[in-house]
Amino acid sequence: MTAGKRLCALLTGVALFACVVDAQSTINGAGATFPYPIYSKWFAEYNKLKSNVQINYQSIGSGGGIRQLTNQTVFFGATDGPMTPEQMQGAPGKILHLPTVLGAVVPIYNLPGTSGEIKFNGPVLADIFLGKIAKWDDPAIAKLNSGMKLPSTDITVVHRSDGSGTSYIWVDYLAKVSPEWLKKVGVATSVNWPVGLGGKGNEGVSGLVQQTPGSIGYVELIYALQNKIAYGSVQNAEGEFVRATIQAVTAAAGAAVKNMPKDFRVSITNAPGKGVYPISSFTWILLYENPKDKAQSKVMVDFMKWALTDGQKFAGDLGYAPLPAEIVKLEMDALSTIKVS
């Protein structure tokens, strides 16, 4: 008798458990590593609000995210560089790009014997990374930094060795300000670097720069802020020298609103406007406009609406710039075109 009762209780328990599992909706996504900290924060916070929604995200890189989304092994993807037209054509359905937050990339350097921050502009950065400017006291650098005594040290260029959205933003900027860069090297998450050492990840690049006198590299703004690494200011399209801050990055997006294409696939490096930091970029979540699973789609769209409004307040603390209100409004319209149950 007792055994029978026990079995009965067990079965009831299993049935209840199955019931709970059923009501839970789990969504899987994969992609860029750059926005991973804010995304995981969002998914955790959203789970507190709606305990039945569980969103899993694997930060396997933008390329991997696009591949998995194209193969429909994940529900959403995430990328730091917009998909190319060929990649869009290769997908089984129409994919929407939805900007979530903004990030920026800053030049870091190690030049003993100098005090104060070094000013750069686009052509100088491009020529340094092309190997054409090889010494710190080159007239081109000296011209931007009048009054600063620059040593005649050799420049050691440090770049990312791993394919990364950070490199994408950096070379996208260099290609916009230097025709030679565009022609010789081009824009991608990994390029054939003309000169320099490759460091793995932000920590690899900053480690090499901090140890190598005379070196210059680039890291994400968040990384520089969190690790208190000094970085240089960069001249924007208006001719102002701007030090990257969260406000200056949001300003870059604000300046882009006027010319925002409907699909949000836009590069905002070297954007025009006062106070704009020129090496800024969106990071995007990728969603199918007409996904197979309409129930999941409903949950995901609700989440996106939350992330673009209430969720934005978490961005600043993690070193990301929040989206300007105008862009959020445009994205809300785009979200309403996604088919849901």
Q: What is the H or E stretch that residue 246 is in?
A: helix 246-256
Nearest approach in angstroms of CB 338 to another protein is: 23
Categorise residue 228: left if φ over 0, alpha if ψ from -120 to 50, beta otherwise. Answer: left
Q: What is the H or E stretch that residue 96 is in?
A: strand 95-110
Among 95, 124, 133, 191, binds another protein (CB under 8 A): 191
Nearest approach in angstroms of CB 160 to another protein is: 8
The overall longest dimension of the chain from CA atoms, in Å, is 94
Interface with another protein, residue 187, by CB under 8 A? yes
Please calculate the CA angle 249-250-256 and round it to the nearest 5 degrees: 100
Cα–Cα distance, 339 to 335 (Å, whole number) = 9
β-pairing, 95-110 vs 53-58, is unpaired
Nearest approach in angstroms of CB 177 to another protein is: 17
SS3 319: coil
Residues 15-44 that bind another protein (CB under 8 A): 33
Residues 314-333 that bind another protein (CB under 8 A): none
Binding track, positions 81-110, relative to another protein; x by CB under 8 A: --xx--x-----------------------
Among 38, 46, 57, 67, binds another protein (CB under 8 A): 67
Give buried/exposed letters for 139-175 (b at 16+ CB in 10 A, else e): eebeebbeeeebeebebbbbbbbbbbbbbbbbbbbbb
Binding track, positions 140-179, relative to another protein; x by CB under 8 A: --------------x-x----xxxxx--------------
Considering the complex, state which of residue 67 and residue 119 has its C-beta at the smaller distance from another protein. Answer: 67
Cα–Cα distance, 64 to 289 (Å, whole number) = 20
Among 6, 94, 149, 200, binds another protein (CB under 8 A): 200
Cα–Cα distance, 278 to 242 (Å, whole number) = 8
Residue type at 337 in one-letter notation: T
Considering the complex, state which of residue 191 and residue 330 has its C-beta at the smaller distance from another protein. Answer: 191
Among 47, 52, 71, 211, binds another protein (CB under 8 A): 211
Which residues are near another protein by CB under 8 A? 33, 60-64, 66-67, 83-84, 87, 154, 156, 161-165, 185-193, 196-200, 204, 207-208, 211-212
